[in-house]
């Protein structure tokens, strides 16, 4: 079905009234610039959706399919993206401080210049190759004080990422595109890189 048959304005009004769009098929929906803070999109299908510049504070995307979604420049502080599928999504410049991404699929996602301060990224799937055909990028992203556990970063671009105070626990960094100096101020318990 998807967003082609949805009254966008009525959907936004319902989201702001009920706070619940969980389980909806919103493939390709355009929510650019909207404030959908604290809305529940759990188990929703949001493939190729546009959230560019949207405000999504504490919004829940638990187990949502967001393949190819555009979240560039979105404000997503404390967003809940546990087990979300962000394969090939664009999150460049997004502000995701304190976000939860445990178990998320991040293959081919673009986090270039994004802020992920104090974010939780446990057991995320970010390695390359992946089904998107593109490497995951955290180039110039801010991961200060982020907690990253048991994540495979093979083929992931971490160049220029701020890892100051980041806690990297059992992260696989062998094969990541990174400068070893970036780890000087990180707390690491990782395999050699």
pLDDT at 28 over 90: yes
* pTM for this model (two decimals): 0.94
Residue that is written with structure tokens 């395999």 in the block = 191
Give the tens place of pLDDT for each residue, 125-167.
Answer: 999 999 999 999 999 999 999 999 999 999 999 999 999 999 9
How many domains would you assign to the chain?
A: 1
So what's the pLDDT on residue 187?
A: 87
Contacts (Cβ under 8 Å, ≥6 apart) of 8: 29, 30
Instruction: Name which of 107, 1, 84, 90 is nearest 54 in CA terms.
Output: 90
pLDDT at 6 over 90: no
Give the C-alpha separation, 11 to 21, whole Å: 9
pLDDT at 192 over 60: no
CATH number at 138 reads 2.160.20.80
Give the tens place of pLDDT for each residue, 158-191.
Answer: 999 999 999 998 888 889 999 888 888 998 865 5
Instruction: Name which of 152, 153, 77, 150 is nearest 119 in CA terms.
Output: 77
* CA triple 5-58-146, angle to 5 deg: 125
Question: For 83-97, what is the mean pLDDT?
Answer: 98
User: Rounded mean pLDDT of the chain?
Assistant: 94
> How buried is 117 (Cβ within 10 angstroms: 0-12 exposed, 13-18 middle, 19+ buried)?
buried
pLDDT at 11 over 70: yes
Its domain, for residue 72, covers 1-193
């Amino acid at each position: 079905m998807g967003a082609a048959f949805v009254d966008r304005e009525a959907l936004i009004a319902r989201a702001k009234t009920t706070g619940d769009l969980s389980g909806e098929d919103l493939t390709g929906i355009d929510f650019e610039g909207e404030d959908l803070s604290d809305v529940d999109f759990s188990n929703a299908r949001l493939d190729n959706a546009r959230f560019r510049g949207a405000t999504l504070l504490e919004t829940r995307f638990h187990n949502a399919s967001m393949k190819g979604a555009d979240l560039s420049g979105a404000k997503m502080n404390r967003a809940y993206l546990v087990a979300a599928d962000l394969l090939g999504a664009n999150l460049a410049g997004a502000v995701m401080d304190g976000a939860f991404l445990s178990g998320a699929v991040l293959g081919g996602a673009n986090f270039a210049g994004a802020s992920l301060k104090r974010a939780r990224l446990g057991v995320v799937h970010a390695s390359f190759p992946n089904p998107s055909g593109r490497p995951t990028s955290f180039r110039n992203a801010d991961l200060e004080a982020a907690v990253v556990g048991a994540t495979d970063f093979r083929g992931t671009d971490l160049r220029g990422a701020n890892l100051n105070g980041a806690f990297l626990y059992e992260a696989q960094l062998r094969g990541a595109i990174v400068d070893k100096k970036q780890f000087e101020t990180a707390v690491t318990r990782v395999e050699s890189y």
